[in-house]
Amino acid sequence: MMRSRPTYRPVYHRGSMFIETAIGIALTVIVMIAVAQLVAVIAKQRRDMANTRVATREVANMMELAIVLPWDELNADAIAKSEISDLSSVALSDPELAIDIVTLDTALQTKQIEIALSWRDQANRRVDPVRLVAWKHQAAVSE
């Protein structure tokens, strides 16, 4: 009598394919949720960076205008006459400009010019302002 080799057949458990499919779908959903949250955070960061870039450009342009003003005309009202550009007022929600000019030293005739621009973010919170500070000295009077 010859012995035949036993044949091994895989044993299938009922419902195992359903469990594997359910686990696969659950993992896919978890990964998709994580990716969606990551994309939302990246989009917010890019939006904030773009707004900061616009505000920085606006403050730099205003500072350029302030620096070229004659010493006697250099005051907050003169700088405030140049309004926020249309691009900045569209890009930034509720922009708020603050201009402060302080005479630091009467002996050296130095003025400190500070220009700050803030706006509201998507959550309607006021963002920390972009600030630019410069110092201007009165030109020496030649005799």
* Percent of the chain with pLDDT strictly greater than 90: 51
pTM above 0.85, yes or no: no
Residues contacting residue 32 through CB under 8 Å, at least 6 positions apart:
none
Question: Cα 67–58–84 angle (5° rounding)?
Answer: 100
Give residues with Cβ within 8 angstroms of 46, minimum separation 6.
Answer: none
Tally of CB atoms within 10 A around 120:
15
Helix (H) or strand (E) holding 30: helix 16-67
Is residue 142 over pLDDT 60? no
Where exactly are the structural domains of the chain?
A: 16-137
* Residue 132 pLDDT: 95
Mean pLDDT score of the chain, rounded to an integer? 88
The string of pLDDT tens digits covering residues 3-50 is 777 677 776 667 678 888 999 999 999 999 999 999 999 999 999 999
